[in-house]
A and B are shown apart, each in its own frame.
Chain A
């Protein structure tokens, strides 16, 4: 009927951008970013990660309305880095962390699978004897 298509949760609309932003004119070194077609997965990840940097003085996000797939994030810095660059830096660092995770996961998985299969093989032989 008139239910919105569910792909509207994650496919950008025709002239929609992934991220839009504007400076906050009343507060120095502050900008508000709107992330389109994103949710808490990215919102929480970025706003919490930003707290780890000394030059970030504030960061928080909100989902203005649960039926619209977007969130707003406001970031303030001490001025040594712009809010936008702070986000880019945070994104790169998370990507890096995930890369390390991915490598460790792959090696450990292979190791455990070999052990697991070895054990099963041993059990099978014991049963046959």
Chain B
């Protein structure tokens, strides 16, 4: 039996490395499409905090306002329990408030003769934020400085009010939780999904990841090609920018993907009711323009919160209850 897959056919995870910035692991008995969707979701749809609006009160530095604002946006902010923060667009308030934002102020002036560097640690977090951690600049260097924002010469100053909001990397890369995600399967190309270009010998000319390659089992000489084989072991290497722990990136990614699926289930099963009630029963549904009946949450925030959606029990219409595709169909 495969020494790395002690759980037989069940989906399982094995860690190779786990620390505060990196999680290197493999998922076994999983399928390629789902693994890739998880990768994509971790890259672009896991919510984090980032500075989104900046009020420039004073800037006599050599950098233009928008240049500094861009740099501020890219500073990683703690995003632990970011679920406590509302999306500004879903919030009742006008602009921003304690429920949907964190305010950081930057006020620095150079008075000495030396060039002064302004760091992320100089951002001061205001009182009144959704929880005690969210929005704090990420500082991991031993000196406790954080990223450099701008350099000032004698007499120059910056004063800015920064409003950090929750968002996802699909809107702007500054909200990306991960610096990089390594992803690979079949390191020895046993499935022949790759066709290596080579001059003399592909084996000599292409690098391989020794560790992954050993885990996945080296191909035996003269091993016959298995035409039915599919990838089932996936190597992930998730590195965080600092706002979320690597495990949180993965777990939030899984959750976001589940929410996405839940919203589809809700739409497909819930809309059945619309057709039943709104269009007089058993007709095959047309393009369902049906609105107005318990119109689901307009945002994309809550499909998961609706406990019944994918839990199985609860409000969802049971399978096959409506004669969709049945009676109306001449075949």
- Footprint of B on A, CB under 8 Å? 6-7, 9-12, 14-15, 17-23, 28-29, 31, 35, 37-38, 40-42, 44-46, 48-49, 79, 81-85, 87-89, 91-92, 94-95, 97-102, 104-106, 108-109, 111-113, 116
Q: Is there an interface contact between A105 and B267, defined as CB atoms closer than 8 Å? A: no
**In the complex, what distance in Å separates the CA atom of A104 from the CA atom of B260?**
21
Q: Is there an interface contact between A41 and B37, defined as CB atoms closer than 8 Å? A: yes
List, in ascending order, chain B residues with CB within 8 A of A87's CB. 264, 268
B156, chain A: closest CB distance, angstroms: 32
Most chain B beta-carbon contacts within 10 A, residue among A17, A31, A38, A99:
A17
Interface status of B331 (Cβ within 8 A of chain A): yes
Interface status of B61 (Cβ within 8 A of chain A): no
B86, chain A: closest CB distance, angstroms: 14
Interface status of B142 (Cβ within 8 A of chain A): no
Identify 8 residue pairs between A and B in the complex whose beta-carbon atoms are under 8 Å apart, listed by A's number. A7-B171, A18-B264, A21-B287, A48-B33, A79-B331, A82-B324, A88-B264, A94-B34
**In the complex, what distance in Å separates the CA atom of A18 from the CA atom of B329?**
25
List, in ascending order, chain B residues with CB within 8 A of A84's CB. 268, 324-325
Q: Is there an interface contact between A97 and B11, defined as CB atoms closer than 8 Å? A: yes
**Chain B binding surface SS class:** mixed
| Known interface pairs A23-B325, A41-B41, A105-B251; A15-B312 also in contact (CB < 8 Å) | no
B43, chain A: closest CB distance, angstroms: 10
**A-B pairs, 8 with minimum CB distance:** A112-B15, A112-B18, A48-B33, A28-B331, A82-B325, A45-B37, A91-B261, A18-B267
B276, chain A: closest CB distance, angstroms: 14
List, in ascending order, chain B residues with CB within 8 A of A46's CB. 264
Q: Is there an interface contact between A85 and B320, defined as CB atoms closer than 8 Å? A: yes
Q: Is there an interface contact between A45 and B18, defined as CB atoms closer than 8 Å? A: no
| Known interface pairs A11-B89, A44-B37, A84-B325; A22-B286 also in contact (CB < 8 Å) | yes
Q: Is there an interface contact between A21 and B288, defined as CB atoms closer than 8 Å? A: yes
Considering the complex, give the chain B residue whose CB is closest to the CB of A40.
B40
Considering the complex, give the chain A residue whose CB is closest to the CB of B24.
A112
Considering the complex, give the chain B residue whose CB is closest to the CB of A29.
B325
Contact with A along B314-327 (1 / 0, CB 8 A): 00000110001110
B126, chain A: closest CB distance, angstroms: 26
Contact with A along B243-286 (1 / 0, CB 8 A): 00001001100110110111111111101000000000000111
Partner of A23, one of B12, B32, B254, B329: B329
List, in ascending order, chain B residues with CB within 8 A of A99's CB. 258
List, in ascending order, chain B residues with CB within 8 A of A41's CB. 37, 40-41, 45, 257, 260
Q: Is there an interface contact between B271 and A88, defined as CB atoms closer than 8 Å? A: no
**In the complex, what distance in Å separates the CA atom of A15 from the CA atom of B274?**
15
Q: Is there an interface contact between B247 and A17, defined as CB atoms closer than 8 Å? A: no
**In the complex, what distance in Å separates the CA atom of A109 from the CA atom of B248?**
10
**In the complex, what distance in Å separates the CA atom of A98 from the CA atom of B251?**
10
**In the complex, what distance in Å separates the CA atom of A79 from the CA atom of B329?**
11
Interface status of B300 (Cβ within 8 A of chain A): yes
Most chain B beta-carbon contacts within 10 A, residue among A23, A29, A91:
A91
Interface status of B294 (Cβ within 8 A of chain A): no
Q: Is there an interface contact between B331 and A108, defined as CB atoms closer than 8 Å? A: no
Interface status of B170 (Cβ within 8 A of chain A): yes
Interface status of B96 (Cβ within 8 A of chain A): no
**In the complex, what distance in Å separates the CA atom of A42 from the CA atom of B40?**
10
Q: Is there an interface contact between A15 and B291, defined as CB atoms closer than 8 Å? A: yes
Interface status of B112 (Cβ within 8 A of chain A): no
Interface status of B71 (Cβ within 8 A of chain A): no
Not counting A41-B45, A42-B260, A108-B14, a sample of 9 additional A-B residue pairs whose C-beta atoms are within 8 angstroms of each other reads A7-B171, A21-B288, A41-B41, A44-B37, A45-B37, A82-B326, A92-B265, A92-B312, A94-B34
Considering the complex, give the chain B residue whose CB is closest to the CB of A96.
B310
Q: Is there an interface contact between A6 and B170, defined as CB atoms closer than 8 Å? A: yes
Q: Is there an interface contact between A9 and B40, defined as CB atoms closer than 8 Å? A: no
Partner of A116, one of B18, B27, B171, B319: B18
Considering the complex, give the chain A residue whose CB is closest to the CB of B12.
A104
Q: Is there an interface contact between B13 and A11, defined as CB atoms closer than 8 Å? A: no
